[in-house]
């Protein structure tokens, strides 16, 4: 087991990992940028290091600075959290080469799954269903049009290297396609340093279903059921829940077991999430695999009772999965998570500023994950998420009611926030009925605008 771990991240996930390290009795090292010097979770770490200026490239994306912290602190592990360098194979290799251990999948897996078209090819070879798609495109309109006609409009133009919904642009005809490939390529180049794109058939009103995977370094793989992440804005998740509503349990279990079979054969390790699109029937069409802990991991923890961060650390240390997880994993009740962002609730533009008031709810079945306290500032340098609000209840209807009550008990002043949008979705007839899909958030917003007009 590790004796000291560097938490190479910030905000809610840094606070979450620090709690897990305390639970395991492992000494912790927190890092922070100059902009984050006053955040409250830093006081929970055994050691802290400033790693640079506010800009991500000068701090949380600064590999040399983080490796210096590893050396100076004498830590033997580094937890990357999510975002930033969590899916950077080069960084994982450098951490491992330093004599410490990167707490995530092997660099080879991070690299293999980080390039979306190569990941799709690999998973297709092993029988996972795929949405019709193209190979890599250079940005040539004629080449893209030929590929789109073969797939059939509408299509989604997607970055080959990336995630988080960044750079995804829909095209419904040839004219839109020309603009979409230019925009997607430009966004991908700026965000991921790679302009490669590909096309995928755009499913109408699909559900975004993902499966949580844990694996040891000895070839053993388990799944911890699914999460429904269909409620999104700008292709980014806002509300997640487990189990997925109106999804036959036998169907979900069979899909999870099939993924376990494939990943076990390939000897995947530590932690990951298989993301799929589900349009009905029996096929969960493979989208991508995220080789890290997910933002929405808490809903799985709430229904299974398993601490995923503790499990991730123990598996990265080399423990066998049968020693980390119970023989049989079951779920109890229903959990829903809402991501609360400092942003305009209609246009979804970031709204940085001072949190003049931040009163977050508490009580039975309510869990809050945050890196902020009242008086802190949401800066323009990083993701504007203020907190994650997670509820657990005996059934889905009760969980929805509990989440609405928790949102109503939340008080945020000083920045705009998206709680009004979340409330509108939770109150909608379609969400209440479990008829969720990736376009529901936009539909609810459009209905609200029409009602106001």
3 state DSSP class of 79: strand
Q: pLDDT tens, 57-99?
A: 999 999 999 999 999 999 999 999 999 999 999 999 999 999 9
| Confidence (pLDDT) at 136 | 81
Q: pLDDT tens, 381-440?
A: 999 999 999 999 999 999 999 999 999 999 999 999 999 999 999 999 999 999 999 999
Question: Is there a single domain that holds both residue 188 and residue 304?
Answer: no
| Confidence (pLDDT) at 139 | 67
Question: Is there a single domain that holds both residue 177 and residue 231?
Answer: no
117 domain residue, yes or no? no
Question: Is there a single domain that holds both residue 154 and residue 215?
Answer: no
163 domain residue, yes or no? yes
Cα–Cα dist 391/402, whole Å: 7
Q: Could you tell me what percent of the chain has a pLDDT over 70?
A: 98
Query: Range with the lowest mean pLDDT among 233-242, 302-311, 424-433, 443-452?
Result: 443-452
376 domain residue, yes or no? yes
Q: Could you tell me what percent of the chain has a pLDDT over 90?
A: 78
Last residue of a domain, one of 151, 179, 201: 201
The answer, as to whether pTM is greater than 0.85, is yes
Question: Is there a single domain that holds both residue 181 and residue 247?
Answer: no
Q: What is the mean pLDDT of the chain?
A: 94
Residue 452 has pLDDT above 60, yes or no: no
Question: Is there a single domain that holds both residue 219 and residue 194?
Answer: no
CATH of the domain at 433: 3.30.470.20
Cα–Cα dist 257/235, whole Å: 27
In this prediction, residues 231-260 reach a mean pLDDT of: 95
Strand partners, 350: 343
| Confidence (pLDDT) at 200 | 86
| Confidence (pLDDT) at 280 | 84
| Confidence (pLDDT) at 197 | 83
Burial class, 231, CB count within 10 angstroms (exposed 0-12 / middle 13-18 / buried 19+): buried
3 state DSSP class of 43: helix
CATH of the domain at 28: 3.40.50.20
Residue 192 has pLDDT above 70, yes or no: yes
- Token pair, residue 207, equals 């559900």
Annotation says 292 is catalytic: yes
Strand partners, 337: 240, 390
| Confidence (pLDDT) at 103 | 98
Q: How confident is the model at residue 123 (pLDDT cuts 50, 70, 90)?
A: very high
Higher pLDDT, 189 or 202: 202
Question: Is there a single domain that holds both residue 411 and residue 330?
Answer: yes
Last residue of a domain, one of 201, 222, 244: 201
| Confidence (pLDDT) at 89 | 97
Higher pLDDT, 263 or 116: 263
411 domain residue, yes or no? yes
Query: Range with the lowest mean pLDDT among 113-127, 178-192, 428-442?
Result: 178-192
Secondary structure (H, E, C), 345-397:
CCCCCECCEECCEEECCCCCCEEEEECCCCCCEECCCCCCEEEEEEEEECCHH
Question: Is there a single domain that holds both residue 414 and residue 271?
Answer: yes
Residue 283 has pLDDT above 90, yes or no: no
Q: pLDDT tens, 126-179?
A: 999 988 888 888 767 888 888 889 988 999 888 877 666 677 888 999 889 888
110 domain residue, yes or no? no
Catalytic one among 120, 227, 233, 292?
A: 292
383 domain residue, yes or no? yes
Residue 21 has pLDDT above 70, yes or no: yes
Residue 450 has pLDDT above 70, yes or no: no
Q: pLDDT tens, 357-376?
A: 999 999 999 999 999 999 99
Which helix (H) or strand (E) is 147 found in, with range?
A: helix 141-151
Residue 453 has pLDDT above 60, yes or no: no
In this prediction, residues 208-236 reach a mean pLDDT of: 96
Q: Which domain holds residue 140?
A: 132-201
* Angle, vertex CA 365, rays to CA 16 and CA 11, nearest 5: 20
Higher pLDDT, 29 or 201: 29
Question: Is there a single domain that holds both residue 184 and residue 228?
Answer: no
| Confidence (pLDDT) at 163 | 65
Contact between residue 99 and residue 76 where contact means Cβ atoms under 8 Å apart: yes
Q: How many domains does the chain have?
A: 3
Question: Is there a single domain that holds both residue 325 and residue 427?
Answer: yes
Contact between residue 114 and residue 161 where contact means Cβ atoms under 8 Å apart: yes
Q: How confident is the model at residue 195 (pLDDT cuts 50, 70, 90)?
A: confident
Residue 445 has pLDDT above 80, yes or no: yes
| Confidence (pLDDT) at 124 | 92
CATH of the domain at 155: 3.30.1490.20
Question: Is there a single domain that holds both residue 347 and residue 325?
Answer: yes
| Confidence (pLDDT) at 416 | 97
| Confidence (pLDDT) at 384 | 97
Last residue of a domain, one of 180, 201, 222: 201
Burial class, 64, CB count within 10 angstroms (exposed 0-12 / middle 13-18 / buried 19+): exposed
116 domain residue, yes or no? no
Question: Is there a single domain that holds both residue 280 and residue 385?
Answer: yes
Question: Is there a single domain that holds both residue 173 and residue 278?
Answer: no
149 domain residue, yes or no? yes
């Amino acid at each position: 087991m590790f004796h000291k771990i560097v938490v190479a991240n910030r905000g809610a996930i840094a606070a979450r990992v620090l709690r897990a390290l305390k639970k395991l009795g492992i000494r912790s090292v927190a890092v922070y940028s100059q902009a984050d010097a006053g955040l409250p979770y830093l006081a929970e770490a055994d050691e802290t290091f400033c790693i640079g200026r506010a800009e991500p490239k000068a701090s949380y994306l600064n590999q040399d600075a983080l490796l210096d912290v590893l050396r100076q602190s004498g830590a033997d592990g580094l937890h990357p959290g999510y975002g930033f360098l969590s899916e950077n194979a080069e960084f994982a290799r450098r951490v491992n080469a330093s004599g410490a251990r990167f707490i995530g999948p092997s660099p080879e897996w991070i690299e293999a799954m980080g390039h979306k078209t190569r990941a799709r090819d690999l998973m297709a070879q092993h029988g996972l269903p795929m949405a019709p798609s193209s190979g890599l495109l250079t940005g040539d309109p004629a080449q893209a049009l030929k590929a789109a006609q073969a797939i059939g409009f509408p299509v989604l133009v997607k970055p080959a290297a990336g995630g988080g919904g960044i750079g995804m642009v829909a095209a419904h005809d040839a004219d839109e396609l020309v603009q979409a490939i230019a925009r997607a390529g430009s966004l991908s180049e700026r965000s991921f340093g790679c302009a490669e794109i590909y096309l995928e058939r755009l499913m109408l009103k699909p559900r975004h279903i993902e499966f949580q995977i844990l694996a040891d370094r000895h070839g053993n793989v388990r799944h911890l059921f699914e999460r429904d992440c269909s409620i999104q804005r700008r292709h980014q998740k806002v509300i997640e829940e487990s189990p997925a509503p109106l999804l036959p349990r036998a169907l979900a279990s069979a899909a999870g077991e099939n993924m376990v079979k494939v990943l076990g054969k390939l000897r995947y390790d530590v932690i990951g999430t298989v993301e799929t699109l589900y349009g009905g029937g029996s096929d969960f069409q493979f989208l991508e695999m995220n080789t890290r802990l997910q933002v929405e991991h808490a809903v799985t923890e709430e229904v299974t009772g398993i601490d995923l961060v503790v499990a991730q650390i123990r598996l990265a240390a080399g423990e066998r999965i049968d020693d980390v997880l119970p023989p049989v994993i079951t779920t109890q009740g229903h959990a829903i998570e809402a991501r609360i962002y400092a942003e305009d609730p209609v246009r979804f533009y970031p709204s940085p500023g001072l949190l003049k008031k931040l009163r977050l709810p508490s009580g039975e079945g309510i869990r809050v994950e945050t890196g902020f306290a009242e008086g802190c500032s949401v800066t323009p340098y990083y993701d504007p998420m203020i907190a994650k609000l997670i509820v657990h209840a005996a059934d889905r209807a009760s969980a929805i009611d509990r989440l609405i009550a928790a949102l109503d008990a939340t008080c945020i002043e000083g920045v705009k926030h998206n709680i009004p949008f979340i409330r509108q979705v939770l109150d909608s007839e379609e969400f209440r009925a479990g008829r969720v899909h990736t376009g529901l958030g936009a539909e609810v917003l459009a209905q609200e605008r029409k009602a106001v007009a």
